[in-house]
Amino acid sequence: MVLKPIRTSKKVDENGGEEEEEAAAMLLSPASRMFHEPNYNIHILAIMGWKVPLDIDSIKAQILGKLLKHPRFSSLQVMDESHDGSGEMRWVPTTVNVDDHIIVPRLKPIADNIMDTDKLVEEYISSISTTTIDVSKPLWDVHILNVKTSHAEAISVLRFHHSLGDGIALMSLLLSCFRRSSDPNSLPTLLVSSSSSKDKSNLSTSNNRNHMWLYLVKFWLFIRLLFNTVVDVLLFIATALFLKDSQSPFTVAQGFNKSSTRQRFIYRTVSLDDIKFIKNATNATVNDVILGITQAALSRYIHRRYVEGKRKFSVEQMRCRATILVNLRPALGVQAAAEMIEKNAIVIQGNCFGFVIIPLHIGQLENPLDYVHKAKVSMDRKKQSLESQCTFYLLQLFLKFFGFKRATKLAQRVPSQTTLAFSNVVGPLEEVSCSGHPLAFLAPTCYGQPTGLMVHACSYAKNLTFAITVDEGMIPDPNQLGDDFVNSFMLINEAALSKFRTKVD
């Protein structure tokens, strides 16, 4: 999608001349501008399940009172008329009619048939991926599906264009509209990790007696950081130029027209407490466990399609990697976002992220916990590298010297050369409600990305939801893939329980 120039309204100044209002409008950030280039037109979906049917009027009131105070939700994105399609774009404030952004489709499920309703909702959300938001209004909308499914009493889908911001910033803004179910006057809380600072303090304390040894350790860590960074950046460049993953059900085949097919959105929820139990059993992190489950699920799917089928394929020799988008800016935070909304002093946060390419182990392992162990090794290695920062600045250099079109091709080509895109977002620690509607689950995801498979993981209270986006032209049985995530989780959790019982005995 390429935006056509939109003529903005003009006002008369004191001297009788015309002054364009867009002159004082803020420019889109380079990263936000990239999301308007063809083949990189990415939309974010926040799929939310509710424990009660939704009251449309109260949802509208919440949007008017909260979201519309954010400049990006009440502004048009306008191309300068004096430039061509690669010119500058600006945020231009406009009057928003909420009814233009609230969509309530009429779904007619068969009475008392939950399976039929699940399929209707899945089909409807999938159909969203074939549409874009009208550029003559702010680039967001809300779809409300007041039908009961096996997951919730009602479903809503908040859709916004990725140019409005990244998932971290928009998650803080979204949660500022919620309150804790146990305390309607309190905002949700998000987990803040401080493990890295603890590790640094422990290192300094343990080596305080021997300064020479401390300097040697720091020098060695610096050399390792420098070496890993150089290797990772070179692999990133090689991926952009020629290094492609092995052909599998998840990779885009040559000549495949991705834009002609729909996206399927599958979400599966597992216990976050069990995820933490596996984390403790393997001495890993929650992210290690999530990546381990992903490796196990992909291994099950590929083994069924290739090894158990009649196709000849060497799983052990395949190259399989994930492109991870890393946010490089501190999150605004729920409390800060809520205070800024109340004071009408919103700080606009756009997109600020780098790329990390991480290898995945695909294969049948005897011990399911080994998937987590291998994920931990890969993640620990990436923590000793500045790959995300370097890829961010590399992209900025492309923007400066080669323009948006070529920089977008770089940002598009790297994920398209890997097997999948991966992202995770931390949700609220407790159950939350919006205008008296308790939330059942939260599943953020995307469509329009250059990969045929994308996996998002989002925590909410005591659960964690995997949101899996697949191209239906490549993966004909997405629900089976979703079940593979659940089955892989159960196998890994059972292995962790067995390990715990062995220690107790």
Enumerate the active-site residues: 162
Backbone angles phi, psi at 317, to 5 degrees: -100, 5
For residue 227, give every residue at least 6 positions away whose Cβ sits within 8 Å of its Cβ, in sequence order, or none: none
Q: What is the C-alpha to C-alpha distance for residues 191 and 178, in angstroms, rounded to an integer? A: 16
For residue 46, give every residue at least 6 positions away whose Cβ sits within 8 Å of its Cβ, in sequence order, or none: 157, 158, 159, 170, 174, 442, 443, 444
Asked if residue 324 lies in contact with residue 422, where contact means CB atoms within 8 angstroms, the answer is yes
Asked if residue 419 lies in contact with residue 251, where contact means CB atoms within 8 angstroms, the answer is yes
Asked if residue 484 lies in contact with residue 493, where contact means CB atoms within 8 angstroms, the answer is no
Q: Which candidate, 69, 66, 47, 70, places its Cα nearest to that of 58?
A: 66
Q: How many residues does this entry show for the chain?
A: 505
Asked if residue 44 lies in contact with residue 166, where contact means CB atoms within 8 angstroms, the answer is no
Q: Which candidate, 31, 36, 38, places its Cα nearest to that of 78?
A: 36
Sign of CA dihedral 220, 225, 226, 232: positive
Asked if residue 261 lies in contact with residue 475, where contact means CB atoms within 8 angstroms, the answer is no
Distances (CA, A) of 261 to 1, 177, 257, 360, 471: 16, 34, 8, 26, 7
Q: Which candidate, 437, 439, 414, 417, places its Cα nearest to that of 428?
A: 439
Distances (CA, A) of 32 to 88, 104, 217: 11, 29, 41
